[in-house]
Structure 1
Amino acid sequence: MDWSGMFFQDWQGIVRTIIVGALAYALLVLFLRVSGKRTLAKLNAFDLVVTVALGSTLSAVLLQESIALGEGAAAFVLLILLQYSVTFLSVRSARFARLVRSEPALLARDGRFCSGAMVAERITEDEAMSAARASGARDIRDVDFMILESDGTISVGVTERDRPLTDR
Structure 2
Amino acid sequence: MDLIHTSIELILGFIALLIVTKLIGNRQISQITPFDFISAIVLGELLGNAIYDREISIFHILYALFLWGMLMLTVEMLTQKYLKVRGFLEGNPSIVIRKGVIDRDELKKNRLDINELQNLLRQKDVFSIREVEYAILESDGKISVLKKSKYMVPTNEDLKLSEKPVYLPVTFIIDGEVLWDNVKACGFEEEWLIKQLKRHGIDKPEDVFYAEWKEDEGMYVLPFEHK
TM-score scaled by length of structure 2:
0.53
Choose between structure 1 and 2: higher strand proportion.
Answer: 2
Query: Is 1:91 aligned with 2:80?
Result: yes
Q: Distance in 2 between matches of 1:17 and 1:133?
A: 49
Q: Distance in 2 between matches of 1:136 and 1:73?
A: 47
Once structures 1 and 2 are overlaid, which stretch shifts more, 55-64 or 112-121? 55-64
Aligned sequence identity (%)? 19
Asked if 2 retains the 8 angstrom alpha-carbon contact of 1:105 and 1:148, the reply is yes
Which stretches in structure 2 are left out of the alignment for 5+ residues? 154-227
Letter in 1 for 2:145: G
Deviations 1:49-87 (A, max 9, x none): 322222222332344444433222222211221122223
Corresponding position of 1:29? 18
Cα displacement (A) at 1:15: 5.8
**Cα displacement string for residues 85-118 of structure 1 (whole angstroms, at most 9, x for unaligned residues):** 2232333334444443421111223444211001
Give me the whole-angstrom Cα distance separating, in 2, the residues matched to 1:66 and 1:38: 33
Q: Which residue of 1 aligns with 2:143?
A: 155
In the superposition, the TM-score normalised over structure 1's length comes to: 0.68
- Structure 1 segment 11-50 matched on structure 2, within 5 A: 12=2, 17-33=6-22, 35-37=23-25, 42=31, 44-50=33-39
Distance 1:31 1:137, change over 3 A: same
Work out which structure has the larger RCO, using CA pairs closer than 8 Å and 6 or more positions apart in sequence. 1
> How has the CA–CA distance of structure 1 residues 142 and 30 changed in structure 2, closer, same or farther, with 3 Å as cutoff?
same
| Unaligned stretches of 5+ residues in structure 1 | 1-10, 163-168
Report the count of equivalent residues: 149
Structure 1 or 2: more helix by fraction: 1
